[in-house]
Structure 1
Amino acid sequence: MRKLVYYIAATLDGFIAGPDGGDPTGPAGFWPIPEDYVAHLATAYPETLPGPARAALSVTDRGTHFDTVVEGRRTYEIGLRAGVADAYPHLRHLVFSRTLTESPDPAVELVAGDPVATVRELKQQDGKDVWLIGGGELAGALYAEIDELIIKLSPMTIGTGIPLFSDRAAFDPRTWELTDHTVLKSGVAFLTYARPTPAA
């Protein structure tokens, strides 16, 4: 069965964006993008690079982790404001929104229904894993459905902002199993955690 993987960049103090929810890696952003970070993405997670970045870096590898990406409306609109209606044309792209009534791109699927039900259906389909890109609100709604966390931990703090999970997540303490880690010279750490399988 496919897994839902929350693959996301986070600060040491647990934030994925600033208080305004804007793109922290954009032209006015505060998030550092070291060269070794970009190189690691291009080789280890090429499918997670947006289409324009893939073109600029001459990346053609379709990747081995994901073939589907899901995101919330606010995260999707960051790309829209930058003039990119489908940042991941090489992946099946679903956007959860109850307010968008028409997709800005024919390849982007709008989903107005329950994210949990949709993700459970996706997990039953054939294919690679499903990438949850964010944001924190959708991640909070899908908290119980996340099978794996891949945190791109940046060696920075910002004090306040958009947390990894919004308060839509139920209080449900759980311990994750560290299954892989890569620490780059720049200090960025790629940490992979699996949700332990319940004992029979």
Structure 2
Amino acid sequence: MRKLVYFVASTLDGFVAGPDGSDPTGPGGFWSPSQDYVSHLVEEYPETLPGPARAALGVTAEGVHFDTVLEGRKSYEIGLAAGVTNAYPHLRHLVFSRTLTKSPDPGVELVATDPVAAVRELKREGGKDGKKGKEGKDVWLVGGGELAGTLHGEIDRLIVKLNPLTVGTGIPLLGRSAVFAPTAWELAGHTVLESGVAFLTYDRRPGTPRSSDG
């Protein structure tokens, strides 16, 4: 069965975006990715680079870890505001929203049903083509924090791109409305770049209750 992986950049004090929820790496953002950070993504996680960045960097590699990406409406609308209707055309792209009634892009699937039920079905599917019985790559939860909080109980792996930066306040890793649900994780791998960015991989500890089970 495929895993749901929350692959996300965070500050040292646990925020994935500023108070307004805007892209921290965008115009006027509070963080500029270092060259070694970008190089590491190109080498290890090429599918997590947005389409425009892949084109600019000449990246054509297929997904190494993921073939499907999930995001919430607020996160998706950041790209829309910049004129990007599908930031990940190389992946199956699902956007969870109960207010968007028509997809702005033929490559983006809108999902208005319960995110937990939808993710459980995705885990059982065979990957990008949606065919069951054929194991696909994992499912990438790109954000935002609110959707991550809703899916907290379904996250199997957490990859935090921890930046040597504090901001004081903003959107937390699991959003502002996440419920109290202590969850134990085991460190499965780590890479620390010269710039100070640490890629920390954690797997859910076996036997840890999932909040979505109840």
Is the TM-score greater than 0.5? yes
1:155 aligns with 2:164: yes
Q: Is the 8 A contact 1:22 1:78 kept in 2?
A: yes
**Aligned residue-pair number:** 199
Cα deviation, residue 167, structure 1: 4.0
Q: Is the 8 A contact 1:142 1:169 kept in 2?
A: no
The aligned runs of 1:32-111 (5 Å cut-off) are 32-111=32-111
Take 1:137 and 1:54, find their aligned partners in 2: how far apart are those partners? Answer: 27
Any stretches of 5+ residues in structure 1 without a counterpart?
Answer: none
Structure 1 segment 1-20 matched on structure 2, within 5 A: 1-20=1-20
Q: Provide the C-alpha distance between the structure 2 equivalents of 1:130 and 1:71, rounded to a whole number of angstroms.
A: 11
Q: Per-residue deviation at 1:83?
A: 0.5
Question: Among residues 108, 117, 141, which one is paired with 1:132 in the alignment?
Answer: 141
Q: Distance in 2 between matches of 1:27 and 1:18?
A: 13
1:177·1:196 contact (CA, 8 Å) conserved in 2? Answer: yes
CA contact (8 A) 1:17 1:163 kept: yes
| Residues 1:178 and 2:181 are matched in the alignment | no
- 2: CA distance, partners of 1:163 / 1:198: 26
Counting aligned pairs with the same residue, the percent is 72
Using the size of structure 1 for normalisation, the TM-score is 0.98
Q: What CA distance in whole angstroms lies between the structure 2 residues aligned with 1:93 and 1:174?
A: 28
> CA offset at residue 32 of structure 1?
2.2
1:185-200 pair list within 5 angstroms: 185-198=194-207
Q: 1:175·1:195 contact (CA, 8 Å) conserved in 2?
A: yes
Moved over 3 A (4+): none
Mapped partners of 1:117, 1:168: distance in 2: 19
Contact in 2 for aligned 1:6/1:148 (Cα 8 Å): yes
When normalised by structure 2's length, the TM-score is 0.91
Q: Structure 2: state its 5+ residue gaps.
A: 127-135, 209-214
SS in 2 for 1:10: strand
**1:47-90 CA distances to partner (integer Å, 9 max, x unpaired)?**
00000000000000012100000000000000001110000000
- Aligned-partner Cα distance in 1 for 2:28–2:94: 27
SS at 2:191 equivalent:
strand
Superimposed CA distance per residue, residues 127-150 of structure 1 (whole angstroms, 9 cap, x where no aligned partner): 110000000100010000000000
Q: Aligned-residue CA RMSD in angstroms?
A: 0.9
State the secondary structure of the residue aligned to 2:64. coil
CA distance in 1, matches of 2:12, 2:52: 28
**Cα distance between partner residues in 2 of 1:72 and 1:167:** 14
